[in-house]
Structure formats: structure tokens, C-alpha cells
Amino acid sequence: MTVVVLALDALDAGLVEHFNLDEFRLESSGPIETFAYSKDDPYTPEVWTTVATGVGPEEHGVTGAGTSEWGNPLLEFASKFTGRLSESTRGTLGRFIRNTTNQRETIGRTDRQTAFDRDNAVVRNWPGVTDGRDLQQAWDLMNAVAEGMSKQEFERKLLCLCAEQFGWAREILHHDVSLAGVHVHTLDAAGHAYADDPESLERVYRRVGAFVAELVTELSEEDELLLLSDHGMSVNFLDADADADPATHSWRAYASATTDEIPESVYDVPAWIDRHLSATDGDVDDIDMPTERLRELGYIE
Ligand SMILES: [Zn+2]
């Protein structure tokens, strides 16, 4: 069996309701708790590293205000002044630095143990865990559309990247893999670009929903799927966002799973993975067992 974790950046619980998208409503679904650390709103690399490790930024070390986000001394110096900038402003600054120094910003990687450090686990494009090249492509597209790239070209490139990531997840199901995780930045990039354009945003949500539906049809009886987000996206067409700036990250993180329960918060994902891998696998070697409790119950000495 394989447990697949789809990290759908910025999938917004309120927009799933607003657009009425059943593809995102698996057996269990609903809002989950997320957090903000170095900024006022949840920040992508901080939250996804927490999803993978189960610990906060102060422990996993990947933060928006810290030096680990940036890959060279000049960028580290610049980051002292940019810790509180929005993602798109930061992207513009990143491009400026790239053009003038011929180097680009990178996202730090945690040295903490992650849920993907186990036998037969694979992970692709996970902020704070892998190299993040796909994420940088999506960030570049987000900046390009803000600077005049056509909607057609933006959506084609963004959704072709999304299709590669979903295609990877589908192929994984044909291999001996215990846990597969992939981060997909499509809805965040589209949310920033289309926070005032409900028709276009709904079109992208429906394409991503269709990818989810395709993946679900490929799951075997034993496989499980968890999809979740790190935050949502404030838009100018939801009553709930009347006081929010459009295209800033909302607190409406969302999760949905083929199991009978979803994690309560972004901190609970490694425990959720442990529960659902052990439920069907019977392979508990590499899982952190509550030995005290088992001893009390008399299962071990
Ligand atoms: Zn995000």
C-alpha cells in the first residue's frame, strides 16, 4: 500500500465551498489549523517544513526571517532587511539579486527528521525538505504574470507543471513505495494572480480538482490519499475577506482524506501518516512507538 500526501499550496477551505468543488471532498474533509511565525500570515516554507517534521520553525529552522532561506552570504545579508516582505515582493527582490549577482535565492532545508525519512518513502518538491526547483518555477511564473505575461501562457505553463507533479504521484502508485509526498504550488500562484478574478480562479481550481479525481481513480483499495494546504488565499469576492487585502494568505487551510479522519492541524501530519501507514502495513520497525504505553499494557517487557 502507498500513502500519498498531496501538498496543495493555498487550497482554501472557503473557496472549495464557494466554487462547490466535490473533487476536493474525499471521505473526510474540512478546515485545519495552521500558524504564522515570522510574518503576520502563514508563510509557505515555514508551514510545509512543519507538516513534514511535526515541529515548529523554532525547531526545524526553515524560517522566512532566518538566514536559512537564502543560499549565499549576500542574500543572507539582504534577508535581514526583507524578512517581513510579502512573497511577491520577495520574488521581485529575488529576481533583482539574481540579475545582479547571477545567483538566486534558495529555500533552506531542515536537518530535522521528516516523515519522509523512512523505508521506501519518496518526496518531490517539498519546501524545506527537497531542493525546491519546481517551487521556484511556480514563483517565477507568478512574478511573470504580475509583469504582463498573458493569462493563457501563465495558465498553460502553471498547469503543465502541475500535470507533471500529479503524473509523478500517479506513477508512484505502480511502484513499491510506502509514502509519497509532492508539493504543488498551482493554487497559490493562481490565487495571487486571480484574487480579483473569480472566473479565472475557478477555472484553475477545477483543473486541479480534475487532477485530484484522476489520481483518486488510480488508488487501489489499500492506498490512502491525504491532500492539504498550508493556508488559503484572500480574494475580493468572498464576504469573509471584506477586511483582508486580496492576494494575501488567508487562515483557511484545508485537508481532505480517503480515511475516516483528517489531521487537526498542520503539526499533526506525521502522526496521521504513522497511523495510516501502520494501520494496513503491519510494518512498524521504523515508526516511533509509544513504548511506555505499550509496556503498561503488557505488550512488551
Ligand atoms: Zn503557501
pLDDT for residue 235 is more than 90: yes
Task: For residue 188, tell me if it sits in a domain.
Answer: yes
Task: For residue 101, tell me if it sits in a domain.
Answer: no
- Local confidence band at 32 (pLDDT 50, 70, 90 cut-offs): very high
Q: What is the DSSP letter of 245?
A: P
- The C-alpha cell at 110 is 531542515
pLDDT for residue 83 is more than 80: no
pLDDT for residue 184 is more than 50: yes
| Measured torsion, CA atoms of residues 23, 27, 31, 37, in degrees rounded to the nearest 10 | -90
Task: For residue 125, tell me if it sits in a domain.
Answer: yes
pLDDT score for 90 = 61
Domain of residue 248 covers 3-61+118-296
- Local confidence band at 241 (pLDDT 50, 70, 90 cut-offs): very high
pLDDT for residue 176 is more than 80: yes
pLDDT for residue 295 is more than 90: no
pLDDT tens-place string over residues 56-74? 999 999 987 543 344 444 5
Distance (angstroms) between ligand 1 centre and the Cα of 44 equals: 4
pLDDT for residue 2 is more than 70: yes
Distance (angstroms) between ligand 1 centre and the Cα of 141 equals: 15
At 101, which helix (H) or strand (E)?
helix 87-101
Q: Which residues pair with 252 in a beta bridge?
A: none
Q: What's the whole-number mean pLDDT along residues 25-50?
A: 96
CATH of residue 230's domain is 3.40.720.10
Distance (angstroms) between ligand 1 centre and the Cα of 153 equals: 22
Distance (angstroms) between ligand 1 centre and the Cα of 111 equals: 21
Distance (angstroms) between ligand 1 centre and the Cα of 62 equals: 14
Q: How far apart are CA 119 and CA 98, in angstroms?
A: 38
Nearest alpha carbon to residue 50 among 269, 276, 299: 269
Q: Which residue has the cell 539582504?
A: 78
Distance (angstroms) between ligand 1 centre and the Cα of 295 equals: 41
Task: For residue 206, tell me if it sits in a domain.
Answer: yes
Distance (angstroms) between ligand 1 centre and the Cα of 9 equals: 5
Distance (angstroms) between ligand 1 centre and the Cα of 4 equals: 19
Distance (angstroms) between ligand 1 centre and the Cα of 97 equals: 22
Distance (angstroms) between ligand 1 centre and the Cα of 257 equals: 19
Q: How far apart are CA 159 and CA 124, in angstroms?
A: 17
Q: How far apart are CA 163 and CA 158, in angstroms?
A: 9
Distance (angstroms) between ligand 1 centre and the Cα of 199 equals: 21
Distance of CA 272 to the CA centre of its chain: 16
CB 10 within 8 A of CB 249: yes
pLDDT score for 287 = 47
The chain-wide mean pLDDT, for the chain, equals 87
Q: What's the whole-number mean pLDDT along residues 188-213?
A: 97
pLDDT tens-place string over residues 92-106? 666 665 666 555 566
Residues 6+ apart with CB under 8 A from 52: 110, 114, 115, 116, 123, 126, 128, 129, 181, 269, 270
Distance (angstroms) between ligand 1 centre and the Cα of 87 equals: 9
Task: For residue 88, tell me if it sits in a domain.
Answer: no
Distance (angstroms) between ligand 1 centre and the Cα of 152 equals: 23
Number of domains forming the structure of the chain:
1
Distance (angstroms) between ligand 1 centre and the Cα of 37 equals: 13
pLDDT for residue 87 is more than 70: no
Q: Which residues pair with 254 in a beta bridge?
A: 31
Nearest alpha carbon to residue 256 among 226, 230, 278: 226
pLDDT tens-place string over residues 106-145? 678 899 999 999 999 999 999 999 977 888 889 889 889 9
Task: For residue 97, tell me if it sits in a domain.
Answer: no
Distance (angstroms) between ligand 1 centre and the Cα of 234 equals: 12
Distance (angstroms) between ligand 1 centre and the Cα of 213 equals: 22
Q: Which residues pair with 256 in a beta bridge?
A: 29, 227
Task: For residue 104, tell me if it sits in a domain.
Answer: no
Task: For residue 78, tell me if it sits in a domain.
Answer: no
Distance (angstroms) between ligand 1 centre and the Cα of 220 equals: 29
* Residue 68: how many other CB atoms lie within 10 Å: 23
pLDDT score for 143 = 87
Distance (angstroms) between ligand 1 centre and the Cα of 284 equals: 32
Long-range Cβ contact pairs of 163-169 (< 8 A, separation 24 or more) = 163/211, 165/124, 165/125, 165/134, 166/211, 166/212, 166/214, 166/215, 168/124, 169/4, 169/6, 169/215
Distance (angstroms) between ligand 1 centre and the Cα of 85 equals: 14
